[in-house]
Amino acid sequence: MKGVILAGGTGSRLHPLTRITNKHLLPIYDRPMINWCIEALVHAEVTEIMLVTGGTHAGEFLRLLGNGYEFGIDRLSYGYQEKPGGIAEALGLAARFVDGDPVLVMLADNIVEQSIKPMVDAFRAEARGARILLTPVEEDEHLRHLGVPSFDEGRITGIVEKPEQPPSKFGVTGIYCYDADVFDVIPSLVPSGRGELEITDVNNHYINEGSMAYDVLEGFWGDAGESIDAYYTVNDFVRAHGANKG
């Protein structure tokens, strides 16, 4: 299995902190944010990784990570997204790197308390279709900023992005497993109203095919790029409790 870390975006929700750097290079407790994502993948025994980024600070990742050996990575490649085109477009840049293997995709501002290895191992067992990680969310106001799944007898029947009326109390984290067919799905997508290729459309494709599975995350999950308040909430949690445990 290959790993793809998506670390692009303008980071506008974290201005002014991101006016001089990529948000994924901001510190979370005692290390840059990107390091926690790398640790999550390496703990899940995914050690061939492509990091996709963009913008004027992309070269800083190379300065920080080098060849990746120091962080337990066996092979580290870099991809550059020339302009914001959506998460699915960024993933599409990794097609040659993934080269027909199953792939674990993680948005680099996701921080989890518990290891994602159980989810990855469950996908490895069959390595077909897709598998996503959900997190319980009680507050409707928070759900309105996330992708939210609907269910029928335990099956996901669809995902709605940023719904005004959330259909469930679960949010879709930015952690996904796909088979190699995902790189055939991406070129078929139609840009959304904001002109981007949406990862929710990828997930709904697999749902419509009946090949989507899911896991529910135990413990803390945070999107450190969601807002300034969320960034400091994640910082405080990691300082007190750590991350990627188990």
Q: What pLDDT, on the 0 to 100 scale, is given for residue 84?
A: 85
Q: For residue range 117-166, what is the model confidence (pLDDT) as tens digits?
A: 999 999 999 889 999 999 999 999 999 999 999 999 999 999 999 999 99
Give residue 9's pLDDT band: very low, low, confident or very high (50, 70, 90). confident
Q: What pLDDT, on the 0 to 100 scale, is given for residue 105?
A: 98
pTM above 0.85, yes or no: yes
In a domain, 26, yes or no: yes
C-alpha radius of gyration, the chain, whole number: 17
Number of H helices, E strands in the chain: 9, 13
Beta strands 221-223 and 110-112, pairing class: antiparallel
In a domain, 32, yes or no: yes
In a domain, 131, yes or no: yes
Q: For residue range 38-79, what is the model confidence (pLDDT) as tens digits?
A: 999 999 999 999 999 999 899 999 999 999 999 999 999 999
Instruction: Say if CB 52 and CB 81 are below 8 A apart.
Output: yes
The average pLDDT across 164-170 equals 97
Q: At residue 86, what are phi and psi to the nearest 5 degrees?
A: 105, 160
Q: At residue 20, what are phi and psi to the nearest 5 degrees?
A: -120, 5
Domain containing 41: what range?
Answer: 2-241
Q: For residue range 100-123, what is the model confidence (pLDDT) as tens digits?
A: 999 999 999 999 999 999 999 999
Q: What pLDDT, on the 0 to 100 scale, is given for residue 127?
A: 87
Kindly report the CATH number assigned to the domain that includes residue 15: 3.90.550.10
Q: Would the pLDDT of 10 be above 90?
A: no
Three-class DSSP category at 97: helix
In a domain, 246, yes or no: no
In a domain, 234, yes or no: yes
Q: What pLDDT, on the 0 to 100 scale, is given for residue 11?
A: 84
Q: For residue range 71-95, what is the model confidence (pLDDT) as tens digits?
A: 999 999 999 999 889 999 999 999 9
In a domain, 14, yes or no: yes
Residue spans of alpha helices (H) in 125-213: 140-143, 182-185, 199-209
Q: How many domains does the chain have?
A: 1
Q: For residue range 188-238, what is the model confidence (pLDDT) as tens digits?
A: 999 999 899 999 999 999 999 999 999 999 999 999 999 999 999 999 999
